[in-house]
Chain A
Amino acid sequence: MSLTEEFLVNKARQISRELGEPEWLREIRERSASLFFKLDMPEHARHVKVDFESLEYFSPAEKAEKLEELPQEVRETLEALGIPEEEMEMLAGMQVQVDSSIVYQTFSDQLKSLGVIAMPIDRAIREHEDLVRTYFARLAGPEENKILALHYALWAGGTFIYVPEGVEVPFPISALFVMRSLPVAQADHTIVVAEEGSKVHYIEGCSAPSYIREALHYGVTEVWAYPGAEVRITTMQNWANHVINLPTKRGVAMSRAKIEWVESLMGSKHTAVRPVIHLRGEGSSARNVGLSFVKGEERHDAGVVIRHLAPNTRSQVISKSVAKDRGSTNFYGKVEIVKGAKGSSGFVQCDSLLLSPEASSETIPALRSDEIDSELGHEAYVGKVAEDKLFYLMSRGLSEEEAITMIVLGFFEPVVRDIPFEYANEIKKLIELSIKGM
């Protein structure tokens, strides 16, 4: 297949028509489809090889109507995540967005009574078009790079969350995306808007069972935290080793707002991700926690960019990564404090653990402050090869898989400890699943 501009524009149009989208969305898609051919890869992903020509973008979605039609691996993922069978039934027809057990019961009633909107984004476009339009593509636009252009041309699925002023959502809102057979489904778009003084925890799980051949995930997440709002996002991703993962994540925090981003990333052939958080308002803060695990030939080029744009802002970046076999994990932590952002501070901490002599890990800090009255810190620690730990546990009769699971979970423990029990448990299960896939 030859990927021409005409072809892509037509496909963008077709998707828009099939989804019954309003005109402004169709226009963005068409414009983005053209931009794709003019733009370069994002800077942090220049070295990632994506064969756009051979990707099968547009095969029609094969929908599973019943639970039994879902492939075994998808069901196992859902089971491991603790989602009961009756709820899986709900998901079978979707692409898939899942509300986890706790949310599901309360989703419609309690959230509605609080005035919270939390739904698949395509439904939000139908029911709350103006609101979606206000926030859609504001923090990441199609003109930035090739991947974003492709995203805005072909995106489908994702979540829209809107929390009104002063509302504290008493339980986490969760969604699960299981990437099925079509790469077109892997450009999910999620928007979280927390109005003044509100509080929300959004948890999303993404999983690509191993039957997918070659796939590209290029989702976008846009997060808005208005004055005094607290937004916490926990992302659990578990990718098969032929998925190329190039997500875009952006967040902005107004005065006194807090954004906390916890991301657990397992697998994928190659991940290149560089979330950007802007601390725009005085006294705002960001905490970015990344857990990553690679094996085989997998490679993660993770990182984060935090910009302190106002006085008395705080940021904390923690990265913990484990590499097995010939896996490689790299972390680029960029924290900038602009002139005038007095009394601000940023701290980056990176730990990595190598499970084999061929595994590798690198940390690249890029700290820069143009403001004298500010503080920046960095700490990196590459753990030595954990061969002795592995032998110690195996000499107790634990299999290699069990031993690695224990070592990895232990290494992540200081971070997972902060996460509510049932979600920490989900992360643990995902890690176990990922190690099992070795």
Chain B
Amino acid sequence: MLRLDGLRVRVEDREILKGADLEVQRGQVHLIIGPNGSGKSTLALAVAGHPAYEVIGGRIFFEGEDITSSPPDERARRGLFLAFQNPVEIEGLNMADYLAKLIEKRIGEKPLTPLREHVEEFVMEKLGPYMEALGFDEGFLSREVNVGFSGGEKKKFEILQMFALRPRLAILDEPDSGVDVDSLNVIGRLLSRALQEGITLLLITHTGGLYRHLRVDRVHVMYDGRIVASGGSDLFERIQESGFEVVIR
């Protein structure tokens, strides 16, 4: 589904990814772990197509197509989703209007009118159960995108957007950092549900907090801009016990 061939990425004159190889199969859960600064977020942002992350070598394939130079919106329309580690605040952009637009993009349906009540009704109809599961009430829809959200709310809102868009592959950049135990459980449950609904998951984490909530198929260790080891759950257990040193050498 997703394949990176020797991906090299430069950010502001510094080479961060130095030839990363990765393959993620449909319907699976993959985990990328690695110490801070190893290039995990760079990998996520480069795959999503951030313009400041310049690909200087290698290729990105998604569903068999080379998307290395596709703009970010095209990648999203192909079914790629990124849950941001640091979601961006968009002042003045109403949550209901925003979510309605994402839903419209996917299914081509619109609210009855642009009136607030119709937009909220539309969003509740399409996403109500997910909002409830994530602990968002209707008042949440009258807020502005990510503005004044707590860390946990931001992470959960990324998950909600994933369900609004229903991508083929979701890359989640540290969905477990900075969230409390309750939120972590909620996120874990919702990710299992996403998997059941056919969304392939690529999780990036350095805490491994979500590991116990999901049936992880494959674990990749990132270090200094490369994937240095890949394996099953035994690899994860080994690192939990002895640290990254076991695979870095």
Q: Are A and B subunits of one complex?
A: yes
Interface of A toward B, CB cutoff 8 Å: 387-389, 391-400, 402-403, 406-407, 409-414, 421, 425
Q: Check A395 against B90 for contact (C-beta < 8 Å).
A: no
Assuming the contacts A387-B51, A406-B90, A410-B93, asked whether A397 and B76 have C-beta atoms less than 8 A apart, the reply is: yes
Complex CA gap A409/B73 in Å reads 20
Q: A400-B73, A406-B98, A425-B114 are in contact. Are A395 and B92 (CB under 8 A)?
A: no
Q: Which residue of A lies closest to B91 (CB)?
A: A410
Query: Is B102 within 8 A of A389, CB to CB?
Result: no
B112 within 8 A of partner (CB): no
Query: What's the tally of chain B residues with a CB closer than 8 Å to chain A?
Result: 32
B215 at the interface (CB under 8 A from A): no
The residue on A at minimum CB distance from B114 is A425
Q: Which of B32-40, B80-88, B118-126, B190-198 contacts A (4 or more CB under 8 A)?
A: B80-88
Q: Does B189 interact with chain A (Cβ within 8 Å)?
A: no
For the complex, what is the distance from the CA of A410 to the CA of B75, rounded to whole Å? 25
Question: B105 within 8 Å of A by Cβ?
Answer: yes
A394 touches B92 (CB 8 A): no
Q: List 22 A-B contacts (CB under 8 A).
A: A387-B52, A389-B88, A391-B50, A392-B84, A393-B90, A394-B49, A395-B49, A395-B50, A395-B82, A396-B73, A396-B105, A396-B161, A397-B73, A398-B73, A398-B105, A406-B93, A406-B98, A409-B92, A410-B92, A411-B91, A411-B92, A414-B92
Do A394 and B84 contact each other (CB < 8 Å), given the known contacts A387-B52, A402-B101, A413-B92?
Answer: no
Across the interface, do A406 and B101 meet the contact criterion of CB distance under 8 Å?
yes
Residues of chain B in range 37-87 having any CB-CB distance to chain A below 8 Å: 48-52, 71-73, 75-77, 81-82, 84, 87
Q: Please determine whether A388 and B88 come into contact, CB atoms closer than 8 angstroms.
A: yes
B222 part of interface (Cβ distance < 8 Å)? no
Residue pairs across A and B with CB atoms within 8 Å: the count is: 75
Contact call B73/A392, Cβ cutoff below 8 A: no
**Bound form: Cα–Cα A403–B145 in Å:** 13
Contacts of B145 in A (CB 8 A): 410
Task: For residue A419, give the distance in angstroms from its CB to the closest CB of chain B.
Answer: 14
B76 close to A394 (CB less than 8 A): yes
B224 within 8 A of A: no
Known: A397-B77, A410-B93. A392 touches B88 (CB 8 A): yes
Chain A residue contacts of B52, Cβ below 8 A: 387
Query: Is A395 a contact of B48 with CB atoms below 8 Å?
Result: yes
Q: Which of B145-187 contact A (CB under 8 A)?
A: 145, 161, 165
Instruction: For the complex formed, measure the closest distance between the CB of A46 and the CB atoms of chain B, giving whole angstroms.
Output: 36
- Taking the nearest CB of chain A, how far is it from the CB of B232, in angstroms? 31
User: With A406-B90, A411-B92 in contact, is A395–B72 under 8 Å at CB?
Assistant: yes
Q: In chain B between 191 and 227, which residues have their CB closer than 8 angstroms to a CB of chain A?
A: none
User: Is B144 among interface residues, defined by CB-CB distance under 8 A?
Assistant: yes
**Which chain B residues border A406 with CB–CB below 8 Å?**
90, 93, 98, 101
- B4, chain A: closest CB distance, angstroms: 18
Bound: A410/B98 CA distance, A: 11
Q: How far is the CA of A388 from the CA of B86 in the complex (A)?
A: 10
Chain B residue nearest to A414 (CB atoms) is B92
Q: What 7 A-B pairs have minimum CB-CB distances, sorted nearest first?
A: A410-B92, A413-B92, A397-B76, A410-B93, A392-B88, A394-B72, A394-B73
Q: How far is the CB of B113 from chain A (nearest CB, A)?
A: 10
**B75 CB contacts on chain A under 8 angstroms:** 395
Q: Chain A residues with Cβ under 8 A from B102's Cβ?
A: 396-397
Contacts of A400 on B, CB cut-off 8 Å? 71, 73
Which of A392, A396, A407 neighbours the largest number of chain B CB atoms within 10 Å of its CB?
Answer: A396
Cα distance, A409 to B115, chains bound together (Å): 16
Please name all residues of chain B whose beta carbon is closer than 8 Å to the beta carbon of A410 when the two chains form the complex: 90-93, 144-145
Q: Give the nearest-CB partner of B77 in chain A.
A: A397
- Residue numbers in A under 8 Å from B98 (CB-CB): 406
Q: How far is the CB of A389 from chain B (nearest CB, A)?
A: 5
A387 cross-chain contacts in B, Cβ below 8 A: 51-52
Which residue of chain A has its CB nearest to the CB of B116? A421
Q: Which residues of the partner chain B approach A425 to less than 8 Å between Cβ atoms?
A: 114
Closest residue on chain A to residue B87 by CB atoms: A392
